[in-house]
Amino acid sequence: MLTNISNVLRACAQRNGAAAVVSARTYADFTTEASFEIKKCDIHKLDEAPATEVVLTRDEGLQYYRTMQTIRRMELKADQLYKQKIIRGFCHLYDGQEACAVGIEAGINLTDHLITAYRAHGYTLTRGGTVREIMAELTGRRGGIAKGKGGSMHMYTKHFYGGNGIVGAQVPLGAGVALACKYLENNQLCVSLYGDGAANQGQIFEAYNMAALWKLPAIFICENNRYGMGTSVERSAANTDYYKRGDYIPGLRVDGMDVLCVREATKLAADHCRSGKGPILMELLTYRYHGHSMSDPGVSYRTREEIQEVRGKSDPISLLKDRMLSNNMASVEELKEIDVAVRKEIEDAAQYATTDPEPPLEELCNHIFHNNPPLEVRGVNPWTKLKSVS
């Protein structure tokens, strides 16, 4: 594994043509793993909280760093493309929240299931999508992960059910996926994510009730980024302790800016589900740097100082970087090389996403039904008969 990383990094260095010295030190000089203190989680109806001392290996650290940086750069690129009007419609960016997506995935397996709402680009990546496919979907091209038919809010991969536009609807859906896991006895679980704004939705409580009644292997996760669009949590919830809102469902409140905190909590939650104890709730305290969507500057309901403060003190990527550097788990140059590689990946993807052609008009009516003989679809007027195949 170490050899692989070093090969990749060396290759990156060569590609850039820079005569950069990769590192005077050999990779054997780095610490392979270290222990870190993480914040204690608040717990609700649980006997014990996740451990506060956790181990991070060098490999894990580099992987988390790379993935978070990829999400960060991808979202910033999307911001650019949106301002150039190459991406249109809705675009809800995830920068600032990277530790949530990466930490959760680190605590579960790819064979588990996950569903979220519309701020979904980060999860599409952690669940197996490529940057190319994601960006091409944002620009509505045929190479997009949903062939250009879904857009920002409707991206799917294996065991990832989107990308859902209706606030809160994804939570009962996720509970249903968990029901299937229990029914099929496959020891899998389903993570259902929602925001602080969605947390007051009635259907979420309906899902809590059935998940608890039937002991479904469901992890309900509230990504509390303090604002539901323009409404702060104090103005929308009578009880802002979202991890307690499941009442009879055990819950934990987690520092969502620390990828290790998120990972440990997710592991505890996953064990809880897999042992047949039923659902569990997690609240991740996180923050989004962008506004609610690209139409929201994000400064009318919060101050620039607040945003700056979070960026300065709690940025998830900086937190991980500092940890790794101060424990000799990586070098500055090495991380810079990862940055460069990520930047290149994003540039390539953006290039692809802007040059790939749009889906052909013949595809307009396809994918209405599955396993169906071809059918005729009425077009804009009665004599326009279009064809739809499965």
Partner 1 sequence: MAASVRCFLRSGKNAVSALGQRGFHKSAPVAVQMMVRDALNQAMDEELERDERVFLLGEEVAQYDGAYKVSRGLWKKYGDKRIIDTPITEMGFAGIAVGAAFAGLRPICEFMTFNFSMQAIDQVINSAAKTYYMSAGQQSVPIVFRGPNGASAGVAAQHSQCFAAWYAHCPGLKVVSPWSAEDAKGLLKSAIRDDNPVVFLENELMYGVPFEMSEESQSKDFTIPIGKAKVERQGTHVTLVTHSRYVSYCLDAAVVLAKEGIECEVINLRTIRPMDVESIETSVMKTNHLVTVEGGWPQFGVGAEICARIMEGPAFNYLDSPATRVTGVDIPMPYAKLLEDN
Residues at the interface with partner 1 (CB under 8 A): 113, 115, 146-150, 154, 156, 161-166, 169, 171-181, 183-184, 190, 202-203, 206-207, 209-210, 213-214, 366-372, 375, 377, 382, 390
Closer of 165 and 230 to partner 1 (Cβ): 165
Closer of 190 and 265 to partner 1 (Cβ): 190
Query: What's the min distance (Å) between Cβ of 85 and partner 1?
Result: 23
Closer of 31 and 209 to partner 1 (Cβ): 209
Query: What's the min distance (Å) between Cβ of 383 and partner 1?
Result: 8
Query: What's the min distance (Å) between Cβ of 371 and partner 1?
Result: 5
Q: For residues 360 and 112, give the distance between their C-alpha atoms in angstroms, rounded to a whole number.
A: 34
Query: What's the min distance (Å) between Cβ of 105 and partner 1?
Result: 18
Closer of 115 and 335 to partner 1 (Cβ): 115
Neighbour count for residue 354 (Cβ, 10 Å): 15
Closer of 113 and 290 to partner 1 (Cβ): 113
Query: What's the min distance (Å) between Cβ of 181 and partner 1?
Result: 7
Q: For residues 345 and 340, give the distance between their C-alpha atoms in angstroms, rounded to a whole number.
A: 9
Closer of 144 and 228 to partner 1 (Cβ): 144
Query: What's the min distance (Å) between Cβ of 123 and partner 1?
Result: 15
Query: What's the min distance (Å) between Cβ of 171 and partner 1?
Result: 7
Do the bridges between strand 227-228 and strand 113-115 make them parallel or antiparallel, or are there none, so unpaired?
unpaired
Supply the Cα-derived Rg of the chain in whole angstroms.
Answer: 22
Closer of 161 and 243 to partner 1 (Cβ): 161
Closer of 12 and 145 to partner 1 (Cβ): 145
Query: What's the min distance (Å) between Cβ of 179 and partner 1?
Result: 5
What are the φ/ψ torsions at residue 115 (nearest 5 degrees)?
Answer: -140, 145
